[in-house]
């Protein structure tokens, strides 16, 4: 069941990759990149639960926080066209 969910999220990440490449606006591409990051974090979390690797849960949490901060930086940059204003 857990591996089936992991495979499902990988398929969804590949489907979202289309929006990342073809997205008409930069906002669509940022949302697609954020969605792919969430899906891959979920896959890592599910694999950590399946193989009973507790350390992988901590790695996924750190990855999710870093990805969230990355999206905030990109959003601020595209809103103001500079980072230090």
Q: What is the pLDDT of residues 4-53, one digit of tens each?
A: 999 999 999 999 999 999 988 888 888 899 999 999 999 999 999 999 99
In a domain, 44, yes or no: yes
pLDDT for residue 60: 94
pLDDT for residue 85: 61
pLDDT in tens, 55-69: 999 999 999 999 889
In a domain, 66, yes or no: yes
Which pTM does this prediction carry? Answer: 0.84
Which band of pLDDT confidence, cut at 50, 70 and 90, is reported for residue 78? confident
Q: Which domain holds residue 7?
A: 2-80
pLDDT for residue 61: 93
Long-range Cβ pairs for the range 61-70 (8 Å, 24+): 63/37, 64/37, 64/38, 67/34, 67/37, 67/38, 67/41
pLDDT for residue 83: 67
Instruction: Quote the number of domains for the chain.
Output: 1
In a domain, 85, yes or no: no
In a domain, 63, yes or no: yes
């Amino acid at each position: 069941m857990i591996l089936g969910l992991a495979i499902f999220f990988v398929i969804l990440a590949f489907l979202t990759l289309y929006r990342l490449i073809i997205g008409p606006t930069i906002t669509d591409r940022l949302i697609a990149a954020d969605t792919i990051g969430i899906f891959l974090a979920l896959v890592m979390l599910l694999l950590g639960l399946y193989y009973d690797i507790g350390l992988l849960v901590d790695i996924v949490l750190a990855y999710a926080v870093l990805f969230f901060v990355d999206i905030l930086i990109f959003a601020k940059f595209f809103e103001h066209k500079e980072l230090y204003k």
